[in-house]
């Protein structure tokens, strides 16, 4: 362990003390000058760093347009770098202790020997005051010698005053440059300061400004889900003035520009689109320019949200969220109708049926529309013009009331509250229903246009109406000649069960009605006309409809019977011709050798089949006409049915069908089989026998009818003679009593 003893300064002679005091005074001046130099040096480095950083930030920010996070990051790095520079170049040098011996060492580096002399002057006198032995004369001599040598040395000359002045000049220049820049471009300086130190998003002046049409101040662009949509970009958007600022919407976040006048935008050569889809994939493209300052880009169908970035010229913005949403749609559409004269409401749900919407004039209608989502508005137009009376019930429902006067072609357009997206046009046609008069048809069956006065006419009446048949009748018009002049008598006959059926309000009514003429007082020579008549159940007033007229000529029974017999004789002649054809087939079968010959026979037999069937139908129709006109007697009609019509149909369905099958088999075989030919020959012979029997029955029936008719005429003449005899007797008796 060592102990340092403080020297006793009282033992130091005054000359030595004065010499040391002078050196200390000079060292104080050197210390002050050195600290001033270090301060100037530190200020130079610090101001240079600040100014260069500020200039670089201004230039880079002007060119690259850093966003706020980038600026804040770069500002933090710059502040850290300037702080390190200031600490190393300014703070740390100024905090150096700069003791006397430290100054001596520094001076010795610039002027060798001076540091040793200063150390001798400061330290050697302490040897005299300490307890250690030292030669006073030698100490005195050394101190005085070093002090005298130091008097001739300018200690402050070792500091570079010229450098200090230059550094001060540079610092002043930096300050002047900053002041001059602010004086010349104050707006630029303020904008730079606000962007870097106030965290402002104000942009540097641009030559191009872009905005998305329709985005306004929203941060999301809403598009229809799953549909192609068109993005329109304006290169000359309209700025909105706000004090000394100009705001531009349609960019996701509003762009603010500080200027005295509205900024002018120059359209770029191209506008680039970067679209990031929901799955992370990216799609890039260029918008299409369609006029001087507008661009369009077709967005693909989207099911999930996407991010959009737009770049054009020196402008850019984004990301903008593109959110696909559903278009507003109609949940239900119904029409409540109150028909004229009815207090009941009928509800028609549009879209559930396939029929048209047709309503009578003066029908009270109420249309009710309900949307799936809340609506901002809903519009309806008829043939392009707005419809009066369209009312909003709530956020999803609208209604319209009107009286039906004319047909409507309605067009609905909905606008959703969420996003303001418009629906696709929804069309609805409502037609004016004209209740036409009933449509009536009338047909007769079983009789011809010539009938007897006692005939029974089977009629079929068919009436249709739009809303229902209220009544159905039959009009009869009889025309006879009186005093050489035609006289027309019209009468309406109620159709049986028509009233009961009409109460059901059926729109389609079909009835069968047998008209008996026996009690109608008709006589040969009269003309009878029939037509159907119907009245509908129209709420606006009953309407009548008529069918066409059916005309019948009233003839005597003998005259009509003669016509029917004439037609039957024609059918008998046709049947006789068919018999001759079958005989020819039978004869040809005897000499049949080749299958090809059977083909011609089969064609002939087919003709026979058709003729036999037609003859049976014609005779059957004659039988029906005879029955309805009460011609002949029941026995004659029964004989006609049993002896002729039934055998004809049996012949057609049995023997002739078997004959056709046999001929077809012969034609299909490669060679003619004698067995099959014999079988077919036997069938043909049987058919001939049956046909001859039927033909004989036809002739016998005609003879029988002739006899019956002759007896009938004899009886009628006897009745007439008897009647005339009775009249003569009555006349004579009357004359006798009168006398």
User: What per-residue confidence (pLDDT) applies to 152?
Assistant: 67
Model confidence at 502, in pLDDT bands (50, 70, 90)?
Answer: very low
DSSP state of 353: S
> Per-residue pLDDT for 536 more than 90?
no
d(C-alpha 242, C-alpha 291), whole Å: 29
pLDDT: is 341 or 303 the higher one?
303
Name the burial class of residue 686, with classes exposed (0-12), middle (13-18) and buried (19+) by CB atoms within 10 angstroms of its CB: middle
Listed in sequence order, the residues at least 6 apart from 263 whose beta carbon sits closer than 8 Å to its beta carbon are: 205, 206, 209, 239, 246, 257
| Angstrom distances, CA of residue 290 to CA of 265, 312, 315, 326, 391 | 17, 15, 20, 29, 40
Measured from the Cβ of residue 94, the count of other Cβ atoms closer than 10 Å reads: 12
pLDDT: is 735 or 340 the higher one?
340
Residue 114: both structure tokens together: 């001076």
Average pLDDT, the chain: 82
Contact 322, 276 (CB under 8 A): no
> Per-residue pLDDT for 620 more than 50?
yes
| Angstrom distances, CA of residue 612 to CA of 314, 617, 652 | 101, 9, 7
d(C-alpha 267, C-alpha 264), whole Å: 10
* Number of residues in the chain: 739
For residue range 137-194, what is the model confidence (pLDDT) as tens digits?
Answer: 777 777 677 766 667 666 666 667 788 888 888 888 999 998 999 899 888 888 888 8
Q: What are phi and psi of 102, to 5 degrees?
A: -65, -40
Enter the CATH code of domain 343-432.
2.60.40.10
> Per-residue pLDDT for 415 more than 50?
yes
User: What per-residue confidence (pLDDT) applies to 318?
Assistant: 80
Q: 205-325: which CATH architecture?
A: Sandwich (2.60)
For residue range 39-75, what is the model confidence (pLDDT) as tens digits?
Answer: 888 888 888 889 999 999 988 888 888 888 898 999 8
> Per-residue pLDDT for 550 more than 50?
yes
For residue range 245-296, what is the model confidence (pLDDT) as tens digits?
Answer: 888 888 888 888 877 788 888 899 999 999 998 888 899 999 998 888 899 9
Model confidence at 432, in pLDDT bands (50, 70, 90)?
Answer: confident
Within the chain, all domains assigned CATH 2.60.40.10 are found at: 205-325, 343-432
Enter the pTM of the model. Answer: 0.51
- Average pLDDT (443-463) is 89
pLDDT: is 718 or 423 the higher one?
423
User: What per-residue confidence (pLDDT) applies to 108?
Assistant: 67
Nearest to 291 by CA among 235, 251, 228: 235
Q: What are phi and psi of 485, to 5 degrees?
A: -130, 140
215-218, long-range: CB < 8 A, 24+ apart: 215/249, 215/250, 215/251, 215/252, 215/320, 216/249, 216/250, 217/249, 217/254, 218/252
Enter the CATH code of domain 558-725.
1.20.120.230
Within the chain, all domains assigned CATH 1.20.120.230 are found at: 558-725
Name the burial class of residue 601, with classes exposed (0-12), middle (13-18) and buried (19+) by CB atoms within 10 angstroms of its CB: buried
pLDDT: is 253 or 306 the higher one?
306
User: What per-residue confidence (pLDDT) applies to 501?
Assistant: 47
Rg (CA), the chain: 65
User: What per-residue confidence (pLDDT) applies to 4?
Assistant: 39
Asked if the 439-555 domain carries CATH number 2.60.40.640, the reply is yes
d(C-alpha 395, C-alpha 671), whole Å: 91
């Amino acid at each position: 362990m060592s102990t340092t003893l403080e020297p006793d300064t009282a033992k130091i002679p005054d000359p030595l003390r004065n010499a040391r005091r002078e050196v200390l005074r000079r060292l104080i001046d050197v210390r002050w000058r050195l600290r001033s130099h270090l301060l100037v040096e530190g200020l130079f480095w610090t101001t240079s760093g600040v100014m260069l950083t500020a200039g670089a930030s201004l230039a880079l920010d002007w060119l690259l347009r850093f966003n706020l996070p980038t600026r804040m990051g770069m500002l933090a790095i710059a502040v850290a770098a300037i702080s390190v520079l200031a600490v190393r170049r300014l703070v740390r040098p100024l905090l150096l202790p700069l003791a006397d011996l430290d100054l001596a060492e520094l001076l010795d580096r610039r002027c060798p020997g001076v540091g040793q002399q200063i150390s001798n002057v400061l330290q050697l006198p302490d040897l005299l005051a300490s307890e250690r032995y030292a030669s006073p004369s030698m100490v005195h001599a050394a101190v005085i010698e070093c002090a005298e040598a130091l008097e001739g040395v300018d200690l402050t000359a070792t500091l570079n005053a010229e450098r200090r002045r230059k550094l001060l000049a540079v610092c002043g220049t930096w300050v002047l440059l900053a002041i001059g820049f602010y004086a010349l471009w104050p707006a630029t300086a303020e904008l730079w300061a606000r962007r870097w130190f106030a965290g402002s998003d104000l942009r540097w002046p641009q030559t191009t400004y872009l905005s998305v049409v329709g985005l306004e101040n929203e941060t999301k662009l809403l598009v229809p889900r799953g549909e192609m949509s068109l993005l329109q970009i304006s290169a000359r958007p309209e700025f909105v003035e706000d004090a000394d600022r100009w705001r531009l919407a349609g960019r996701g976040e509003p762009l603010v520009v500080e200027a005295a006048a509205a900024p002018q935008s120059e359209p770029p050569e191209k506008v680039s689109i970067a679209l990031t889809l929901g799955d992370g994939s990216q799609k890039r493209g260029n918008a299409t320019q369609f006029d001087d300052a507008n661009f369009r880009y077709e967005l693909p169908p989207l099911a999930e949200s996407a991010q959009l970035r737009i770049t054009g010229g020196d402008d850019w913005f984004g990301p903008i969220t593109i959110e696909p949403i559903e278009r507003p749609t109609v949940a239900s559409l119904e029409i409540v109708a109150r028909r004229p004269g009815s207090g009941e409401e009928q509800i028609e749900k549009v879209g559930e049926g396939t029929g048209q919407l047709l309503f009578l004039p003066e029908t009270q209608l109420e249309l009710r529309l309900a949307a799936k989502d809340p609506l901002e508005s809903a519009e309806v137009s008829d043939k392009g013009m707005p419809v009066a009376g369209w009312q909003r019930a709530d956020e999803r429902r609208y209604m319209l009331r009107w009286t039906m006067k004319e047909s409507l072609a309605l067009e609905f357009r909905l606008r959703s509250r969420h996003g303001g997206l418009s629906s696709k046009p929804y069309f609805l046609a409502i037609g004016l229903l004209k209740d036409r008069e009933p449509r009536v048809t009338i047909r007769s069956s079983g009789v011809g246009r010539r009938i007897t006065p006692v005939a029974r006419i089977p009629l079929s009446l068919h009436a249709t109406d739009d809303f229902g048949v209220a009544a159905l009748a039959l009009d009869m018009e009889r025309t006879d000649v009186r005093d050489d002049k035609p006289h027309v008598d019209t009468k309406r006959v109620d159709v049986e069960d028509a009233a009961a059926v009409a109460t059901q309000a059926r729109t389609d009514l079909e009835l069968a009605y047998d008209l008996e003429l026996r009690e109608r007082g008709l006589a040969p020579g009269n003309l009878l006309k029939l037509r159907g008549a119907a009245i509908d159940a129209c709420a606006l007033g009953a309407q009548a409809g008529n069918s066409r007229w059916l005309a019948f000529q009233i003839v005597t029974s003998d005259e009509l019977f003669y016509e029917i017999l004439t037609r039957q004789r024609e059918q008998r002649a046709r049947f006789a011709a068919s018999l001759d054809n079958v005989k020819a087939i039978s004869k040809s079968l005897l000499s049949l050798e080749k299958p090809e010959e059977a083909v011609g026979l089969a064609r002939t037999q087919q003709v026979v089949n058709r003729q036999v069937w037609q003859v049976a139908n014609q005779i059957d129709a004659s039988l029906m006409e005879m029955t309805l006109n009460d011609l002949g007697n029941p026995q004659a009609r029964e004989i006609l049915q049993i002896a002729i019509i039934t055998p004809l149909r049996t012949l057609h369905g049995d023997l002739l069908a078997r004959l056709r099958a046999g001929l077809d088999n012969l034609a299909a075989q490669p060679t003619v089989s004698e067995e099959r030919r014999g079988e077919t020959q036997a069938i043909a012979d049987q058919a001939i026998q049956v046909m001859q029997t039927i033909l004989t029955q036809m002739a016998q029936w005609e003879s029988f009818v002739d006899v019956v008719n002759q007896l009938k005429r004899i009886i009628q003449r006897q009745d007439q003679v008897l009647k005339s005899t009775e009249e003569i007797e009555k006349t004579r008796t009357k004359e006798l009593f009168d006398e």
